[in-house]
Structure 1
Amino acid sequence: MSRSDRLLMLIDALRDGALHRAGDLAARLGVSQRTLYRDIDRLVAAGVPVTGTRGLGYRLSDAISLPPLTLTLAEVEALQLGIAIVSEATDDALKSAALGLADKIDAALPDRTVPQGAAWAPALSPFANSARGISHMPTLRAAIRARQKLRVVHTDAQGRVTTQTLRPLRLEHWGRIWTLTAWSDTQQGFVILRTDLIDTADALPELFVDEPGKTLADAPA
């Protein structure tokens, strides 16, 4: 199992909001507790709201807290790059939110912060290119609202390519990673896909309605 897949499994294990002991999580993932602690640190570094301590346990927090922050020049550059990517989205709601956030950041920054002409550097992350996932957001969000089926081509972390017909149900954001929960007509079961690993997502001329066992309420917690 790749590290990225293991991190996603760890998020799934924690998403019920309960307190989970490190030993139980390590056994569930088939890794040592030392590896589990490193994975927890990676999730925290990636912005996933994991709370807890060694010896007591870990859980995912629903709350988003932004205490006063001190940012380095590189962190300000990375933040502004993310805003720039989202502001180019065709989804008006996301674009408006990005522009509003940019205004707030500009108002809070000192007069001289980032040198003029500074080049953007790629940011290393436990997950793949988040911009790639963002590019699919308008199609995914529109299909969820319209209850419209999608044809999705997806390449997993091992390079396996699948084409599925999906009933998109929910988008979730965990730090720098977005996931799509859907019912797969192809696999006849629920799937959770990382949006950054979706190659193409095309709306089909077919709507769907709730059917027993295929609704969001039936999906894994």
Structure 2
Amino acid sequence: MSGPDRLLRLLQLMRVMAPPITANRLAVERGVSVRSIYRDIELLRLSGAQIEGERGYGYRLIEDYALPPQTFDRLEIEAIAVGLGEVRQMGDPDLARAAEAVLAKVAATLPDDREQQLLHSISHVYRPSGRYGSLPHLNAIRQACWGEQEIEIGYRDQAGTASRRIIRPLAIVYNDHVLTVLAWCRLRDDFRMFRIDRVDGVSSKGTSFRPRRASLLREYLAKLSAKANEK
């Protein structure tokens, strides 16, 4: 395998693997030695890829030095079109605008024939109405997730009973017809799901839980997975 092909394959692995990515994991996936991975990581960095981390601790790909057009075959272009089409139809105006921007940026990196395949793909998403409706507090919750900031929410449960909760928002989950925020609830001292359409208000507590969001989310998802396996 040529050097450029080898580096592109390593870069693709780092795009799809959850960080921190150890050299051992990369070596197993690529079928090469750990020493080869260390060498190729340095070559990627010299080529312009922004990769955080070091030997013994794992790596994180921050920014690709390039996203070569040839990495997208025709089926991958269809997948991009469907994915962005779904986002535009969800009823979240901010994400819809972001999807339009992503489509334009990706199209601009493609050669003419691939650009036309993306802009005039055979796969389309059609939904007569937005799946989730208007959710006035969604953006505030999203910002709190990004910032790893505790927030206080007004919340109505299934019976309509109102309460105030201080939560650590971890992730927003797009279910079939409901958006939920996965969070650590201070009141219950445990993980909880909150339907965003039942949130009456959001205010910042000014308390950071950085850098615990990723580890808390992994723990919560592991518990959900274990519970699902018990059924």
**Shorter-chain TM-score range:** 0.3 to 0.5
Comparing both chains, which one has the higher relative contact order based on Cα–Cα distances under 8 Å and sequence gaps of 6 or more?
1
Give the TM-score of the pair, scaled to structure 2.
0.42
Give the TM-score of the pair, scaled to structure 1.
0.44
Structure (1/2) with the larger helix percentage = 2
